[in-house]
Amino acid sequence: MAITRYILQIHCPDQKGLIAGTTQVLAKAGANIIDLTQHTAKDIGTFFLRAVFECEPEAAEEVSRHLESIGPHLSLTWKLHDTTKVKRLAIFVSKTDHCLYDLLLKHRDGDLPCEFSCIVSNHTELGPVGGTFGVPFYYVPSTQEKSVSENRFREIIQETKTDGIILARYMQILSAAFTEEFKYKVVNIHHGFLPAFKGAKPYHQAWHKGVKIIGATAHFATEDLDQGPIICQDVQRVPETASIDELVELGKDIEKRTLSTAVKLWLEHRVFVYEGRTFIL
């Protein structure tokens, strides 16, 4: 049988012996641990562990069974990811393309371990980009009822076997029902340094406040769009003489690298969500 690479994510209340216990489960199944990161957030008494290991699929099943049996006893929350099952992601865009291109180019460079199942847009302008990179493009106008659009999204997701969504400057708000249905499966880029500048036109807000540093925030989309758990943030110093338009332009570089980095962390199963925030291991 083929040796396969797995990634295990665990979090649970802190207690003695967690690392030794986990590594013993893996050792007993004959798994070879490639990489192990662990962190105990003492302020909330919670333990997080990410282990990358290699073994045959049968051994991975043995690990699963073992974790299932001890899980309830230790209040474990765990997930075992088979890295050969590559995630298929949809990219939602409006008209702005800097984030879209950055994702497509980094993917082509082999830097994002996923497949792009489709590009979905409420405008037609970026259709040709899909063509250039061989990703199917779906036009779903936002002029209709939101529920109609979102039902269309559900169909597309099914047709294209999509596992998750990247909102790459998709300028529409998703309904609470939709974000709840795809909880922690939708990554958004907010073009502001959250929680500082929620809502629309964050660069305008920032300029009028005279902040000296601007930023962007990649986070999971939740019902309250600007409040979802933060995955990645980046910042840049503002030239004192910058106009609002120049802030917007400056922001694009930050947005695209922040979104790509967040998607990478997510695909590598480094992101843990716990009590409204993430821990990245």
Residues forming contacts to a copy of itself in the complex (CB under 8 A) are 16-20, 23-24, 26-27, 32-43, 97-98, 101, 105, 109, 111, 128, 132, 193-197, 207-213, 215, 229-230, 232-235, 237, 240-241, 243-244, 249, 252-253, 257, 275-281
Determine contact, residues 153/120, Cβ cutoff 8 Å: yes
As measured in angstroms, the least distance from the Cβ of 253 to a copy of itself is: 5
What residue type is 138 in one-letter code? Y
Q: In the block, which residue shows the tokens 């690298």? A: 257
Instruction: Specify the residue, 109 or 145, whose C-beta has the smaller distance to a copy of itself.
Output: 109
Instruction: Specify the residue, 62 or 234, whose C-beta has the smaller distance to a copy of itself.
Output: 234
As measured in angstroms, the least distance from the Cβ of 195 to a copy of itself is: 5
Instruction: Specify the residue, 46 or 122, whose C-beta has the smaller distance to a copy of itself.
Output: 46
As measured in angstroms, the least distance from the Cβ of 129 to a copy of itself is: 9
Q: State the catalytic residue, choosing from 163, 226, 245, 253.
A: 226
Give CA–CA dist 55/60, Å, rounded.
Answer: 7
Query: 52: which 2 tokens?
Result: 């990358």
User: Among residues 144, 155, 149, 67, which one has the least CA distance to residue 118?
Assistant: 155
As measured in angstroms, the least distance from the Cβ of 278 to a copy of itself is: 5
Query: 68: which 2 tokens?
Result: 């299932």
* 102 has catalytic annotation: no
CA dihedral of residues 244, 247, 249, 252 (deg, nearest 10): -140
Instruction: Specify the residue, 43 or 145, whose C-beta has the smaller distance to a copy of itself.
Output: 43
User: Among residues 277, 278, 269, 273, which one has the least CA distance to residue 35?
Assistant: 269
Give CA–CA dist 255/150, Å, rounded.
Answer: 25
Known catalytic residues?
226
